[in-house]
Chain A
Amino acid sequence: MSELSVNHLLGIKYLNKKDIELIFETADHFKEVINRSIKKVPTLRDITIANIFFENSTRTKLSFELAEKRLSADVINFSASQSSVKKGETLIDTVNNILSMKVDMVVMRHPNPGAGIFLSKHVKASIINAGDGAHEHPTQALLDSYSIKEKLGDVGSKNVVIVGDILHSRVALSNIFALKLQGANVKVCGPKTLIPKYIESLGVEVETNLKKALEWCDVANMLRVQNERMDVSYFPTTREYTQQFGVNKTLLDNLNKEIVIMHPGPINRGVEITSDVADSNQSIILEQVENGVAIRMAVIYLLASKIK
């Protein structure tokens, strides 16, 4: 019987190819469920899930909450801004207090890389990492690959370029792991200052010319410039960034093929991507959001099956 090789989803790094296939197969079924007139199944009615967000989030939090509710789990939400964390409580104490209210699973976003891994070693609950600093954002990478598979039929041997702020992006790192695991070719593209040293050691190529990168790829995943994580200035002006690394309609029309445009959101319209591209037929940005719910249902379902 197939089951996940892990008890927590801390990062794509800890998954194998079979895990990803199982998650995608399960997500197919949940995608059918969420397109019914009654979009809910009673599977997790005896499971309680805590969504603990130490960092802002709209899409991911809503998507997780919706996925949990579609599976009939009981859900409690917790945001650090309104909590005792401000009074000096430690992460383990906070989580253990929540767990003593009989919670089975924790979905956590935290600004520190490795927070999920740390927690999984110290508390008794299934942990899903919903983003830990600039480290990983596994469900985003899964839904990105799932969306590529849905659009192009397969991920293996496809050429994918990740454009933008690679240095601060957990989405980039998780995507690189996920895409490589499935056999895709990956390039990263962005200002040299925003591309980490030694990134080639992950098996990806660096391309600093956006036009060349777009000509090579089947899929372009456009990332947001994460101003909130930048302590120093990595490029002169936003305008200059847009001129060199922003995707616009003219650029796409001059390619000799039609590529797929993705964006994990939130979009800075007019910076990394223009409105006419974001809203065009080539863009699968809203499909990504829909698939996000199905993928998260699949991950929660598969991890919950392992709770004894």
Chain B
Amino acid sequence: MSQRVLLFAKEIHIILHRLACQLLENHLDFSNTVLIGIQPRGIYLANRLTKLLKEDYKVKEVNLGSLDITFYRDDFRRGDKILEADITKIDFLVEKKKVVFIDDVLYTGRSIRAALTAIQSFGRPEEIELLTLIDRRFSRHLPIQPNYRGRQVDAINDEKVKVMWKENDGEDAVYLVSN
């Protein structure tokens, strides 16, 4: 197994600021916008962006939730692994709100497909956007594209893109892992 660094902490830092600014440009005061981190790994990115928006860009209030898609996945009973759920925490209605899904890596698009179904349980959003730190292009199984992307990456199917976060993994970095 070998791994190569795709993004260092400094680059991630710059990208996070850019993504925060792009969100600001489209959503201004976030009064009608909700950010939804996709479990399990999207929540770190969602938390970071929320913190940036509040502290560096002085947005007063950002609605942030986390969405678990386990029960909406299309591969139940199709793999060897038993799917384990994570916590969903959405304390507000998404009815008529602008929703931004936040996930670390966009790969086949199947997670986002599941998230699009899952969010309907919480109301009918006015629109849904997608923000992702890493976009693995040319590997989509579904017609799903991000509205905001950190970095586009070309990786073959055997390779894995690993996003590490300081608060959970001890460092900010993105690795390309190949067997």
- Which residues of A approach B to under 8 Å, CB–CB? 1-3, 26, 29, 32-33, 36-44, 46, 71, 301-302, 304-308
Check A305–B83 contact: CB distance below 8 A: yes
Check A38–B120 contact: CB distance below 8 A: yes
Check B122–A43 contact: CB distance below 8 A: no
Contact flags (1/0) for B95-131 with A, using CB distance below 8 Å? 0000000000000000000000110111100000000
Check B76–A37 contact: CB distance below 8 A: no
Residue B81 interfacial (CB < 8 Å) = yes
- A–B pairs, 12, beta carbons within 8 Å: A2-B82, A29-B86, A32-B88, A41-B72, A41-B121, A42-B72, A43-B70, A43-B71, A43-B72, A43-B73, A46-B77, A302-B82
- Chain B residues with CB below 8 A from A44, complex form: 76
Residue B87 interfacial (CB < 8 Å) = yes
- Chain A residues with CB below 8 A from B82, complex form: 1-3, 302, 305-306
Nearest neighbor of A40 in chain B, beta-carbon distance: B121
- Chain B residues with CB below 8 A from A46, complex form: 77
Residue B84 interfacial (CB < 8 Å) = yes
Residue B142 interfacial (CB < 8 Å) = no
Across the interface, B84 reaches (CB within 8 A) one of A2, A36, A71, A304, namely A2
Residue B85 interfacial (CB < 8 Å) = yes
Complex-state Cα separation, A280 to B12, whole angstroms? 56
Interface residues on B, range: 20 to 34
Complex-state Cα separation, A184 to B123, whole angstroms? 42
Nearest neighbor of A104 in chain B, beta-carbon distance: B77
Complex-state Cα separation, A32 to B73, whole angstroms? 17
Residue B135 interfacial (CB < 8 Å) = no
- Chain A residues with CB below 8 A from B86, complex form: 29
- Chain A residues with CB below 8 A from B81, complex form: 1
- Chain A residues with CB below 8 A from B120, complex form: 38
Check B123–A37 contact: CB distance below 8 A: yes
- Chain B residues with CB below 8 A from A29, complex form: 68, 70-71, 85-88
- Chain B residues with CB below 8 A from A43, complex form: 70-73, 76
Complex-state Cα separation, A308 to B72, whole angstroms? 19
Complex-state Cα separation, A248 to B120, whole angstroms? 47
- Chain B residues with CB below 8 A from A305, complex form: 76-77, 82-83
A36 to chain B, nearest CB (A): 5
Complex-state Cα separation, A306 to B81, whole angstroms? 10
Nearest neighbor of A29 in chain B, beta-carbon distance: B85
Complex-state Cα separation, A307 to B77, whole angstroms? 7
B52 to chain A, nearest CB (A): 28
- Chain B residues with CB below 8 A from A302, complex form: 82
Complex-state Cα separation, A40 to B118, whole angstroms? 10
B119 to chain A, nearest CB (A): 10
Complex-state Cα separation, A37 to B68, whole angstroms? 16
- Chain B residues with CB below 8 A from A40, complex form: 121
- Chain B residues with CB below 8 A from A37, complex form: 121-123
Check A304–B72 contact: CB distance below 8 A: no
- Chain A residues with CB below 8 A from B77, complex form: 46, 304-305, 307-308
- Chain A residues with CB below 8 A from B70, complex form: 29, 43
